[in-house]
Amino acid sequence: MKFELLPRIHSPAELRGLTDQQLVQLGDEIREALCNVVQERSAHFASNLGVVELCLALHLVYDFSKDRLIWDTGHQIYPHKLITGRFDRFSTIRTKGGLMGFPNPNESPFDLFMTGHAGASVSTVLGMKAGDDLLGQSGRKSVAVIGDGALPSGVVFEAMNNAAELKKDLLVILNDNEMGICPRVGGLAKYLDKARTAPFYNGLKRDVNWLLNKLPVVGKPSRDAIGQIKDALKGFLHGGMLFEEMGFRYIGPVDGHDLFALRSTLEMVKEVSGPVLLHVFTKKGHGFEPACEDPVMFHAPPPFVRNKNNEVVSVSKSTSRAYTNTMSDAIYDAMHRDSKVCVLTAAMCEGNKLGRVRQEFPDRFFDTGICEAHTVAFAGGMAKSGLRPIVNIYSTFLQRSFDHIFQEVALQNLPVTFCLDRGGLAGPDGPTHHGVFDNSYMRIFPNMTVMAPGDELDVAPMLDFALAHNGPTSIRYPKANVEHVERPEAPIELGKAEVWRWGEDGMFIAFGSMFTTCVAAAERLRVEEGLDVGVINARFAKPIDRATIFRAMEETAFQITVEENTVCGGFGSAVLEACNAAGVSTANLKVLGIPDRFIEHGERDELLADIGLDVDSLMATAVAMSDRGTLVE
C-alpha cells in the first residue's frame, strides 16, 4: 500500500480537515504501517490493530495539545504515535536510539507518562485533572483509556472510588477486547461478558421512567418501592450497574470499530459532567485476519512474511532456547514430582511459557490477572496451608507487590518461591520493563534467600533447592537464550558459590546472567593479554559465600563483581557490606552493574555494551586494574 495520508499528518489537528472517506483510508494506512514494522522485528501488534478507530475518534473530538490523554499499559500507543508527528521515524520503533514502544514524554508533548505497567492511568489522569482545576485550568478535559485486562488491578478501583468522591469531570474509556495477552480471567471478566451483550445504554432516568409508566401498579407505591424497582430495572437494562453504583455514569457498550458512531458518542460524552465510564468493545487484531484468529500469538509476534492477500506465509522461528523455557520445564517437572507444588502467574501465562503447566495441572495453576499484589498475598496463604507455591512473574511487575512480599511472605517466613523472569535488561521493551532492581529490593527482606543461575545447568537444581528450602526464595533469570559452561557438577548449597577457575592475577565474581560473560572474558584475557583471571559463579546474593569471596580478596590483586542489576543495593553492595563488617579491604574491588539511571530501549547486547557489561568491556576493566594497567596509567 502506498502511504498517501500518513506522511501529511504532522499533528492531530490535521485530522479534522479529512473527509470521512479519507479517515477510513487513514485507518487502513495505520494498519499497513503496523504490519510493516512487525515484518521487520517483534513488536506489540494485535493490541494496536484493535485501537485504530478509537485513537482517531479521540483525536478528532478532543484537542490533546491542551486536554489530557493517558493510555494505560501503553503498548497500544502505536496509532497515537503515527498521528502525532512521528510517522517519519516510525520504522525505528523499538530499536536503539529510535522511538520507544511505549509512551515517552521525551518524544512528544502528546505523551504524558511512560505507561508500561497496567492500572495507573485512572489515578494519574485524575491527579492531572485535580491539578488543572487547582491551577485555574478547569476547561481541560481528561481521558484515560484502560483495557479490560488491566481493569481488575486494585489501583484502578482505588482511583475510581476517589474519582467518584471528588466528582471531577473525567472520562474513563474501557477498551474491552476480552483479552489481556491471553484471554481475561476472573469474576469481573464474566461481568463484562454480560455487559457486552447489553443494548447501548446512556443514563437511567429516561428508560426507567418510561418503564415505570408502563407498569401496572395497585395503589400509590412508596418512594422506597419505586427505588427498589429502579434498582431492579438497572440490572435488567444494562450491564454497567457496577460502575453506576461506584459513582460513574455508565455509557455503552459502543462498537469500537465504527469510527463515526464512536466519534458521535465521544462528542456527547464530552459534555457530560462528573466521572463517566464509556464501555467500548473492540477486537484485538482487527483489520488483520491472522491476528484476529490468534490474538495471543500476534500480541507481540516474531517477524513474519505476508502475501498480497494479507495471509501470513511464514513466521521467523528461533532455534535457540530461552531461559524462560528452561525454567518452565523445571516447574513442570517439579509439579510432576510433588503434588504440593503449584504455580501462580499474573496474566503472564504466555509470557512465562506456562501453557503446558496450565493444561496438565489445571487445579494447581492459578492465573490471577494483572493483580500482582493479590498474587503474592494469595501465595502466602497457600504456603501457610502447607503447599509449595511458585510465583512466576516478571521482575519489573513483581515490584507492584513489594509490601506483600514483606508482610505476607518474608515476615511470616513462608516457603514461597519467586521465579523472576526478565531479571536484567529486557531489550526493546525499555525502561518500564527492565528488571534491574530485584536483587536490591528482594535482598533487604529478612528471611529471604536471593539466587540466580549462572547458566542453564543451574536452573533446575536451583528451583529444586528453593522448593525444599524452609523459607522464601527468589530466583532471577534473564530475557535471553540459555548458555552453559562445561564444568564438573557442583550441587546447590545454601550460600555457597561455585568456583569455575581460580585466577592468579584477579577474579571476576559474577552473579547470575553475567557468569557466562565473565567466563568468555577470562578465556580471552588468558589468550590475548596473558592475564590469569578466575571466575566465581556466586549463585547467591543472600546469603553470600563470604569464605570464597574473602579468599579472593586476600589472594588476588584485583576483584570485579559483575551483575545485571542496579549497583545500588545489588550483589556488589552485598559484597561491600560483608567486607566492611569483617574488616576486609576493598581497595582493589570494583563493582560493575547497571548504573544509577534508567536505561533506554535497544537490543540487550547493545545495552550491555553501552554500560560496560559485555566481554570487551570486562576485559578492558580487568586490564586497567592489573599491574599492567596501573603501569600504563
Q: Which positions are annotated as active-site residues? A: 284, 372, 400
DSSP 204-258: SHHHHHHHHHHS--SSPPPHHHHHHHHHHHHHHH-S-HHHHHTTPEEEEEEETT-
Cα torsion 451, 457, 463, 465: sign: negative
Triad 188, 232, 147: Cα angle to 5°: 25
Cα→Cα distances 391→150, 169, 313, 341, 482, Å: 19, 39, 37, 11, 21
Q: What are phi and psi of 382, to 5 degrees?
A: -65, -40
219 Cβ neighbours under 8 A, 6+ residues apart? none
437 Cβ neighbours under 8 A, 6+ residues apart? 395, 399, 565, 566
Asked if the bond preceding 453 is cis, omega within 30° of 0, the reply is no
- Tell me, rounded to whole angstroms, the distance of Cα 624 from its chain centroid: 38
Residue 336: exposure state from Cβ atoms within 10 A (0-12, 13-18, ≥19): exposed
d(CA 69, CA 82): 15
91 Cβ neighbours under 8 A, 6+ residues apart? 36, 37, 40, 98
Strand duo 312-315 + 304-306: pairing: antiparallel
19-54: b (≥16 Cβ within 10 Å) or e: eeeebebbbebbbbbbbebbeeebbbbbbbbbbbbb
Contact yes or no for 180/369 (Cβ under 8 A): yes
Contact yes or no for 266/57 (Cβ under 8 A): yes
Q: Please choose, from the candidates 164, 160, 141, the residue with its C-alpha nearest in 3D space to the C-alpha of residue 150.
A: 160
| 573 three-class SS | helix
What cell does 101 get? 514502544
| 498 three-class SS | strand
